[in-house]
């Protein structure tokens, strides 16, 4: 009888477990009365979950789960008031496929790249993998920062300003920023980066890198919203989210490179 090699088993088992655990969570989420995802969004989140558990294991998965739960909670802050003002997220905050990949496409690509590079026999492999994992965490720090800054700003921002002119504008305006939202965004990025450090995905100094990268990316995203988004119909909120998280990941990786190898 043919036997399965240990190496093949070691490769296969994490993915099999990823499919199993995400299928269980899919079933639970399907029957939960208060939906955080649309049916299509739930299917895409199942695919994303398998990718993340299979590549980064349960630690990387927990980082994404933290983002999803905290981000969903932030979306529901002051929901009645935001809906009355017409600035609430559609579907009362329930995420669809476009939200799943708009938020997590860059993170998924970083995770897949880290998983792939980990098999390369090179002295540079540990550095490359650590930078890609940092990119993963930074992209999620950026997205959570953006979500919390936007939702808290729309709910509690006393004074909101257009980032390009600093002129007062109504809450919910594309490119608007507020002190309350900015502080919420900084705290959110620090919280998720601290979790990643506690899970031994990144180093202590990387927490600060993630916070800086998230701050830069979130403000650049506001500039894009204020200047470009209304001019191009293809520049949807989901595309802007991809750009936002990509900027956060790239900024974090570049800062880490400057610190670690002085390039």
Q: Is 1 contained in some domain?
A: no
Q: Is 110 contained in some domain?
A: yes
146 and 191 Cβ atoms separated by less than 8 Å: no
Task: Work out how many domains the chain is built from and give that number.
Answer: 1
CA atoms of 94 and 82, how far apart (whole Å):
15
Angle value at C-alpha 223, between 169 and 106, nearest 5 degrees? 130
CA atoms of 187 and 201, how far apart (whole Å):
19
- State whether the Cα torsion 216-219-225-226 is positive or negative: negative
Say what the pLDDT of residue 1 is: 44
Say what the pLDDT of residue 11 is: 66
Bridge-based pairing of strands 176-178 and 160-162 is antiparallel
Per-residue pLDDT 10s for the chain (263 aa) are: 444 445 444 567 788 889 999 999 889 888 877 677 888 999 999 999 999 999 999 999 999 999 999 998 888 887 666 565 555 556 555 778 899 999 999 999 999 999 999 988 888 899 999 999 999 999 999 999 999 998 898 888 788 888 888 888 887 777 788 889 999 999 999 999 999 999 999 999 999 999 999 999 999 998 888 888 878 888 888 999 999 999 999 999 999 999 987 65
DSSP annotation of 89: P
**Which structural domain, as residue segments, surrounds residue 75?**
6-260
Say what the pLDDT of residue 119 is: 84
Neighbouring CB atoms inside 10 A of 85's CB total: 14
202 and 185 Cβ atoms separated by less than 8 Å: no
Q: Is 132 contained in some domain?
A: yes
Q: Is 195 contained in some domain?
A: yes
Q: Is 135 contained in some domain?
A: yes
């Amino acid at each position: 009888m043919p036997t399965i090699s240990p190496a093949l088993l070691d490769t296969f088992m994490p993915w099999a477990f990823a499919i199993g655990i995400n299928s269980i969570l899919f079933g639970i989420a399907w029957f939960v009365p208060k939906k955080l995802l649309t049916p299509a969004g739930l299917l895409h989140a199942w695919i994303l979950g398998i990718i993340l558990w299979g590549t980064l294991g349960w630690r990387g998965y927990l980082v994404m789960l933290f983002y999803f739960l905290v981000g969903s909670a932030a979306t529901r802050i002051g929901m009645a008031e935001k809906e009355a003002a017409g600035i609430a997220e559609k579907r009362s905050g329930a995420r669809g496929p476009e939200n799943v990949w708009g938020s997590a496409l860059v993170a998924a690509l970083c995770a897949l790249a880290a998983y792939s590079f980990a098999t390369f026999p090179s002295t540079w492999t540990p550095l490359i993998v650590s930078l890609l994992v940092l990119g993963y965490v930074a992209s999620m720090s950026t997205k959570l920062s953006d979500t919390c800054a936007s939702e808290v700003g729309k709910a509690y921002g006393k004074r909101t300003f257009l980032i390009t002119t600093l002129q007062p504008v109504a809450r919910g305006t594309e490119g608007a920023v507020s002190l309350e939202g900015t502080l919420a965004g900084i705290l959110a990025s620090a919280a998720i980066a601290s979790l990643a450090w506690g899970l031994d995905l990144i180093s202590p100094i990387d927490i600060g890198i993630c916070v800086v990268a998230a701050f830069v990316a979130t403000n650049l995203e506001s500039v894009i919203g204020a200047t470009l988004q209304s001019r191009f119909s293809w520049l949807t909120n989901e595309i802007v989210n991809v750009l936002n998280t990509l900027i956060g990941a790239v900024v974090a990786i570049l800062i880490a490179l400057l610190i670690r190898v002085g390039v």
